[in-house]
Chain A
């Protein structure tokens, strides 16, 4: 199309000033954006309340879409299971009889284990669950990796709580609104999780790379060698993530730094489990009590 050739809106002073002030508005808006950008760069949780308010309004849309897409995607499997139900029933019955002996042995072992742990006075790591909820959407256009959880303060979700699934760690709650929460996924480039190697307990740090993979950095000894297949679980250091949650396994060999694949794949995740922080945050420092001399005399 042809751009407007003459940009003067006519002889009207009023129209000319109007056009001029739209440009003044645009430039001052851009400057305001730059100021907001600086504020949010130096203080990331600055506008959390605003984001939470918007998330409260739009997350139900997302949940509805998730519910609808699940319904559509579930149709083939529902039809398939209707026809396969008889053969599956027979197979499961056979499997049950086969595994009865194994279950009995496992039950004995569990009881024995509990007895031994009691003897050792081990502090059992709590496996409490705050809430089980869906991750309904994510920042798919941005280079940051946030997801929105369909549960918030009303369900007991607090800032800092770890989010996991059965297979492994997913992320950490960073902002919590009444009914929604914002989760920083462990694949985000600014996420850091203290981990240890399952094989020998070597401490390391799992930092997100931003491309869906995780970088394992050695935290203890120098010149550590990572081999493909090395599995890492959370170590519990720092008190946020409970210990022994699978985080990642190494895919490329490396020395001191290695590339790993996360254990949990949030894109195929049905439900995420929010757990309480492993250790409660430290109490706030005591405020100095005012001296009696400073208090004004009561009337």
Chain B
């Protein structure tokens, strides 16, 4: 707002607020399951994972590589999945995106969207295999959950970019 912020010589720059806001917003996304709704099918998209992927796509250095481990633990505690499921899957997802980043020269919005949707789909499918027995009739609901997540992802990207608006443009 005020143009140039003057930092006295010898003092460190103020760290961007994404440092604390990114983990907090991922936890708030996980806590969306607290809304008073007794669902008889999985209807809510996994907002915690979507926030994590949003931050990873919009600002790759906002969180450490190991950040999905504690965040996934929190998600497991509130989501009803067996403990360790999100810890493992979210970390694998972020590591896979790191590997993809070494291959891609440039990511645009569409590639962000495709990669994040793939990540959500991987976590949903693997989480379903861990949590529910194979004969459970949850696959149609899971597909709709993935479609809802894909539709929400652009909004999540905008939200992450908005939360990150204090970052210095380089």
Task: Please tell me which one of the listed residues B83, B106, B137 contacts residue A209 in the complex, with CB atoms under 8 A apart.
Answer: B137
Does A140 lie within 8 Å of B33, measured CB to CB? yes
Q: Is the CB of A29 within 8 A of B66?
A: yes
Q: Is the CB of A137 within 8 A of B33?
A: yes
Report A202 CB to chain B, min CB distance, Å: 23
Mark interface residues in B42-73 (1 if CB within 8 Å of A CB, else 0): 11111100000000011011001110111011
Interface size class of B (residues with CB under 8 A): 35 or more
- Does A136 interact with chain B (Cβ within 8 Å)? yes
Asked if residues B136 and A189 are in contact (CB atoms below 8 Å), the reply is yes
- Which residues of chain B from 53 to 101 have a CB within 8 Å of any chain A CB? 57-58, 60-61, 64-66, 68-70, 72-74, 77-89, 91-92, 94-95, 101
Is the pair A62, B69 in contact by a Cβ cutoff of 8 Å? Answer: no
Residues of chain B with a CB closer than 8 A to A265's CB: 40
Q: Are B40 and A26 neighbours in the complex by a CB distance under 8 Å?
A: no
* B106 neighbours in A (Cβ, 8 Å): 1-3
**Nearest B residue (CB) for A269:** B38
Interface centre among B36, B86, B140, B141 (most CB of A within 10 A): B36
With A33-B87, A58-B34, A143-B127 as known contacts, state yes or no: A50 contacts B41, CB within 8 Å: no
- Distance between Cα atoms of A135 and B87 in the complex (Å): 27
Given contacts A61-B34, A143-B42, 18 further A-B contacts (CB under 8 A): A1-B60, A1-B106, A2-B106, A3-B105, A30-B69, A33-B72, A35-B84, A37-B84, A39-B83, A61-B31, A136-B36, A140-B42, A141-B44, A143-B142, A209-B137, A267-B39, A267-B40, A269-B38
Which residues from chain A sit less than 8 Å from chain B, CB to CB?
1-4, 7, 22-23, 25-27, 29-30, 32-41, 44, 46-47, 50-51, 54, 58, 61-63, 65-66, 69, 135-147, 185, 187, 189-190, 209-213, 262, 265-267, 269
